[in-house]
């Protein structure tokens, strides 16, 4: 393990790290930064909360500081793509703290904000552009941004972007980027599609991995409560009442469910707010800011926030509803135990969620300790019946609605009166 000041970073970066009280890199930073400084493409695998932003941010800024000249109007020198507005804002905030006393500018473009204002500040050019793919394509189609000067591309939380149809957006964006360029791809999980993505867009990448894909941070204590859906509200209030000052993130499956849950908690005297897709960007930003400051202690969210909340003080993550996608469980509980702290991930599992729990445990290769209740006896889901017709005789009671070929339709047998 080495200190940041042993990396040979630009003096301005070393000063920024000292101001932020960063002295030693995390394992993913320890492995990725030297390779990225040498100009290699990077395929980085590490669970959330391990410092991936600095792993790509420090070498990126160092390269840009060494390049003379300001960006031309409408252009950017580096592009960072992320799946959610919250993550874009979090990345940009971290980078701005590092570039505060330099000539570099960091800009963001996300949906839910004034596209006119985004067009205005992009007209002046920027060094680093952090964007969600959808809004970036909108700006490209309006001629508001020119990506031909981009020589550094970062794909952060790329596995979630794949789930959101990102591959189609990347096919639209990538041909517009400058070449040659350095590409860094970071992810917490490694589905097969990710391998294909890396082969298509990275050139001889250096693979850096600090934990098996799908593994949660070591300092997260996990547990599961088996209970009915009707019992969930009471169990949640019981847990929240034990430590009312702790920052707690509660995940619900749907936007409606998150809002209803939040309002019920507020009615019962809990200090709660919510963020989900039906909230405006301003409402989401204000809720996260209040949560970060401790003005609210409970934040109810959908998975839109799973990758975008970087708040070191989150003590508990409660999966009120288990996610449909097992990887999302890893990202959810990764919102706690950040920056070397300890945290707790609590899951509620109703009888109809047992299969989701099994998939999560299969992904993580662990048995989550049971805190209360017991796993219901739920049969394994049956394999779907293959199409292509029945074998042998058609079961009684089935009706295709077609007449047998070469035969007349039989009349129903007349029943005698009893």
| Location of each CATH 3.40.50.300 domain in the chain | 4-209, 220-372
Q: Are 44 and 52 in contact (CB under 8 A)?
A: yes
- In tens digits, what is the pLDDT along the chain, a chain of 418 residues? 468 888 888 999 999 999 988 888 888 899 999 999 999 999 998 776 678 899 999 999 999 999 989 999 999 999 999 988 888 998 999 999 999 989 999 999 998 889 999 999 999 999 999 999 999 999 999 999 999 999 999 999 887 777 666 788 888 999 999 999 999 998 877 767 777 788 888 999 999 988 655 566 667 899 999 999 999 999 999 999 999 999 999 999 999 999 999 999 999 999 999 998 888 878 888 999 999 899 999 999 998 765 667 787 899 999 999 999 888 898 889 888 766 678 999 999 999 999 999 999 998 889 999 999 998 875 444 444 444 443 344 434 444 444 444 444 444 444 444 3
- CATH superfamily of the domain spanning 4-209: P-loop containing nucleotide triphosphate hydrolases (3.40.50.300)
Q: Are 149 and 75 in contact (CB under 8 A)?
A: yes
pLDDT for the residue numbered 390: 35
The rounded distance, in Å, linking the Cα atoms of 101 and 19 is 11
The rounded distance, in Å, linking the Cα atoms of 251 and 322 is 8
Q: Say which DSSP state 187 is in.
A: E
- CATH superfamily of the domain spanning 220-372: P-loop containing nucleotide triphosphate hydrolases (3.40.50.300)
The rounded distance, in Å, linking the Cα atoms of 150 and 176 is 9
For every residue of 135-151, DSSP letters joined together read HHHHHHHTT--B-TT--
pLDDT for the residue numbered 378: 53
pLDDT for the residue numbered 340: 64
The rounded distance, in Å, linking the Cα atoms of 219 and 211 is 13
The rounded distance, in Å, linking the Cα atoms of 84 and 307 is 7
The rounded distance, in Å, linking the Cα atoms of 178 and 168 is 19
């Amino acid at each position: 393990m080495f200190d940041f000041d042993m990396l040979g970073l630009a003096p301005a970066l070393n000063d920024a790290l000292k101001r932020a009280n960063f002295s030693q890199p995390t394992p993913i930073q320890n492995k990725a930064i030297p390779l990225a400084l040498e100009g290699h493409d990077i395929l980085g695998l590490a669970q959330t909360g391990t410092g991936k932003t600095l792993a790509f941010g420090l070498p990126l800024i160092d390269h840009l500081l060494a390049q003379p000249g300001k960006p031309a109007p409408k252009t950017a020198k580096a592009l960072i793509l992320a799946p959610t507005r919250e993550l874009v804002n979090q990345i940009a905030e971290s980078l701005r703290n590092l570039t505060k006393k330099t000539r570099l500018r960091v800009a963001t473009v996300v949906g839910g904000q004034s596209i006119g204002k985004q067009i205005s500040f992009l007209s002046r050019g920027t060094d680093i552009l952090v964007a969600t793919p959808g809004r970036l394509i909108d700006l490209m189609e309006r001629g508001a941004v020119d990506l031909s000067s981009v020589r550094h591309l970062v794909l952060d939380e790329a596995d979630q972007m794949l789930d959101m149809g990102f591959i189609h957006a990347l096919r639209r964006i990538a041909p517009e980027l400058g070449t040659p360029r350095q590409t860094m791809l970071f992810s917490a999980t490694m589905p097969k599609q990710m391998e294909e993505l890396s082969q298509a867009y990275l050139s001889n990448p250096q693979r850096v991995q600090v934990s098996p894909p799908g593994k949660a941070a070591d300092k997260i204590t996990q547990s599961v409560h088996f209970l009915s859906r009707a019992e969930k509200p009471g169990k949640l209030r019981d847990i929240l009442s034990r430590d009312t000052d702790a920052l707690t993130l509660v995940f619900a499956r749907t936007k409606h469910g998150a809002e209803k849950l939040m309002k019920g908690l507020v009615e019962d005297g809990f200090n709660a707010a919510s963020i989900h897709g039906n909230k405006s960007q301003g409402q989401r930003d204000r809720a996260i800011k209040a949560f970060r400051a401790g003005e609210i202690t409970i934040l109810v969210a959908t998975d839109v926030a799973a990758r975008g909340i970087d708040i070191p003080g989150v003590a508990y993550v409660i999966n009120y509803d288990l996610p449909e996608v097992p990887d999302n469980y890893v990202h959810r509980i990764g919102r706690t135990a950040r920056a070397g702290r300890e945290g707790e991930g609590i899951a509620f599992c109703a009888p109809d969620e047992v299969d989701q729990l099994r998939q999560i445990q299969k992904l993580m290769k662990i048995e989550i300790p049971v805190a209360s209740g017991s796993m219901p006896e739920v049969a394994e889901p049956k394999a779907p019946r293959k199409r292509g017709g029945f074998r042998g005789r058609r079961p009684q009671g089935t009706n295709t609605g077609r007449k047998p070929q070469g035969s007349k339709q039989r009349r129903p047998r007349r029943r005698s009166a009893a």
